[in-house]
Amino acid sequence: MARQDPHSYADLDQGRLTEVALFLRVDFAARQLKGRARLTLAEPVSGDLVLDTLDLAIDGISTTEGAPIPFDVSAPDPVLGSRLTLRLPASTSAFDVRYATSPEASALQWLDPSQTAGGVHPYLFSQCQAIHARALVPLQDTPRVRIGLRAEIEVKKPLRVVMAAAADGERPGGDEQHSTWLFHMPQPIPPYLIALAAGNIHPQTVGPRSVVYAEPEVLERAAWEFGGVEDMLQTAEGIFGPYRWERFDLLCMPPSFPYGGMENPRLTFLTPTLLAGDRSQVNVVAHELAHSWTGNLVTNADMEHFWLNEGFTVYAERRILEALEGPEYMALHAAIGRAGLAREMARFGEGSPYTRLRTELDGVDPDEVFSLVPYEKGFLLVQLISETVGRERFDEFLKAYIAEFSFQSITTERWEQFVEAKLPGVLAQIGADRWLRGSSIPENEPTFASRRKELVDELAAAWQSGERPTTEVADAWSPEEWVLYLQGLPGTIERADCEALDTTFGLTAQGNAEILVEWLCLAVRSGHGPAIDRALGFLGEMGRMKYLKPLYTALAASPETKGRARALFEEVRASYHPIAQAVVESVLR
């Protein structure tokens, strides 16, 4: 048996899935999706076919005529789940799996009404990246495969189902109390982009190709915050070429959504922590939009090449915002990203294999090694190539790259071949191999000149000699400058200084979550009481891992606050996504 992806049991020499059709009922009481999947193969297959599953209860598998197909489910591997082996009759081109998901399915979060904005209806959402699609439906869970998707999802009225797919409306369900929502996906996608949500979800139009979906209680705010999306789409098309997914809708998630955003095609999922009331966090929208080219059109072959998705997308995100907000934007965001990368490198330690771009992840859970490295080191490499060949040539390269590999999955090695063909010599010139396979940041990293960044850096560096920001200066700062300033301060400061900063600038009451969390980490480490209370409060309000990790880490640094953090976690644990629970556990261990 030849496996191609270290995170999948699939052997693509046996055959390839080409379509997944889901016929499922959302059972909130049992916390299960139940029903049937019809899996279609690209070519008829006879004999063994291996699929990925995780925690699925499989009732039976049969041919499309109803004849039983023998199958075997292996004992679960902690990372990969269970291998499902089917013995297909001669020339099988499609088959049906009757199954149910587990109430603990890692791909799903089931929310009680109390965990939603409205407080009345339950809510369900999926998150399949990196390797959780197998907990939703048995399939070849590797991005080397692309599938078409159809779905009929039944849910209790008056709830709505949304999917990352074209919506084909609603029709009566199996009984009076249910209705069925229909979908099909015209573009082939890797399995990790399958996505659905069900709840009291309503749309508001924000552009010719976009609605924002949210619970009614937050819909107005969300629609305003993300109202600039059509401008972004047009700007992005100018840089990367036509948008190939027709619609770009946005789903504002409940607060426990574990990521900032997820690029589910046609329907990006976004955390409500972006709702600052001033559109200051729309870089996350730009990022998920940028994945429509880098990630969703040109896809990493597996998680060992994840930097191809994220490094390119951070670069693309910053290009979109540079075009919309001006050149200083790229510099400020690059600086924030660089500081985050430095922290991440320090956390992994000198020589760690996880500080490489091209990784080797046999036996490694991708959720456990998730970091900023593929994002920010990847960004630096792309930026370096762009600076080396010049932007005009690079933009031409980008368009050719996207055209060449659209709807395909590629490895780092294939990418290197393509770069060599289009931009001969550049990889050698910049020492790309060290960037890709070395575990540090080479000294030829690009730098970004920005007067505003310099001023903030100087002021932060002068902290030790007693200099403080005046209201005159700091009131003119953008959120990015605030984050940079706080990143530049010493790891801990005097309590009296915390109080003074807080009184002057109201940092503990900040509405921008990026500034808030940067501040809270510093102030918690410094023992500032109000920040400790706010940190615990914030950790009870949302479950975005980007914030859980540093805040719990800061609280865990002293025994007293660690005790309070533990007590809080015991209380709110069930409100966090399963993946987020594991992250917090590892911090508090």
Give the footprint of Zn ion on this chain (CB under 5 A): 310, 313
Q: Point out the catalytic residue in the list 99, 329, 354, 375.
A: 375
Cβ-based neighbours of 254, under 8 Å, separated by 6 or more? 111, 115, 116, 117, 123, 125, 199, 215, 272
CB nearer to ligand BES: give 225 or 263. Answer: 263
Q: Point out the catalytic residue in the list 152, 288, 304, 310.
A: 288
Helix (H) or strand (E) holding 168: strand 166-172
Q: Measured in whole angstroms, how far is the alpha carbon of residue 288 from the centre of its chain? A: 8
Strand residue runs (E) in 282-386: 298-300
| Rounded Cα–Cα distance for residues 410 and 413 (Å) | 8
CB nearer to ligand BES: give 41 or 276. Answer: 276
The answer to whether 488 and 456 have CB atoms below 8 angstroms apart is: yes
Among positions 541-570, residues that touch ligand BES (CB under 6 A) are: 546
Candidates 76-84, 255-263, 439-447, 477-485; binding stretch for ligand BES (CB under 6 A): 255-263
Q: Choose, by CB under 6 A, the member of 260, 272, 311, 488 that binds ligand BES.
A: 260
Strand 202-207, strand 210-214: pairing: antiparallel
For 59, the 3-state DSSP assignment is strand
CB nearer to ligand BES: give 291 or 549. Answer: 291
CB nearer to ligand BES: give 88 or 284. Answer: 284
The size of the interface with ligand BES (CB under 6 A), counted in residues, is 16
Pick from Zn ion, ligand BES, none: which does 190 bind, CB < 5 to 8 A by kind?
none
Pick from ligand BES, Zn ion, none: which does 333 bind, CB < 5 to 8 A by kind?
none
Q: Choose, by CB under 6 A, the member of 123, 375, 477, 482 that binds ligand BES.
A: 375
| Rounded Cα–Cα distance for residues 74 and 436 (Å) | 36
Note whether 202 binds ligand BES by CB under 6 A. Answer: no
Alpha helices by DSSP H, listed for 100-215, are: none
Note whether 257 binds ligand BES by CB under 6 A. Answer: no
Tokens 């409100």 sit on residue:
575
- Is 288 tagged catalytic? yes
Q: Choose, by CB under 6 A, the member of 143, 261, 340, 378 that binds ligand BES.
A: 261
Q: How far is the CB of 388 from ligand BES (least distance, A)?
A: 24
Ordered DSSP codes for 133-145: GGGTS-B--STTS
The answer to whether 17 and 145 have CB atoms below 8 angstroms apart is: yes
- Is 375 tagged catalytic? yes
Note whether 259 binds ligand BES by CB under 6 A. Answer: yes
Q: 273-292 mask for ligand BES (x: CB under 6 A)?
A: ----------xx--xx--x-
The CB-based long-range contact list for 395-402 (8 Å cut-off, 24+ gap) reads: 395/239, 397/422, 397/423, 398/239, 398/240, 399/240, 399/241, 401/298, 402/240, 402/241, 402/293, 402/294, 402/297, 402/298
For residue 249, what are the β-bridge partners? Answer: 267
Among positions 98-157, residues that touch ligand BES (CB under 6 A) are: 129-130
Pick from ligand BES, Zn ion, none: which does 284 bind, CB < 5 to 8 A by kind?
ligand BES
Q: Choose, by CB under 6 A, the member of 262, 336, 523, 587 that binds ligand BES.
A: 262
Q: How far is the CB of 197 from Zn ion (least distance, A)?
A: 19
| Rounded Cα–Cα distance for residues 265 and 296 (Å) | 7
CB nearer to ligand BES: give 49 or 286. Answer: 286
CB nearer to ligand BES: give 179 or 281. Answer: 281
Q: How far is the CB of 258 from ligand BES (least distance, A)?
A: 8
Cβ-based neighbours of 212, under 8 Å, separated by 6 or more? 203, 204, 206, 219, 222, 223, 226, 249, 250, 251, 252
Q: In Å, what is the CA distance from 245 to each residue of 188, 209, 291? A: 10, 10, 11
Residues annotated as part of the active site:
288, 375
Given the rule CB under 6 A, which residues bind ligand BES? 129-130, 259-263, 283-284, 287-288, 291, 310, 370, 375, 546
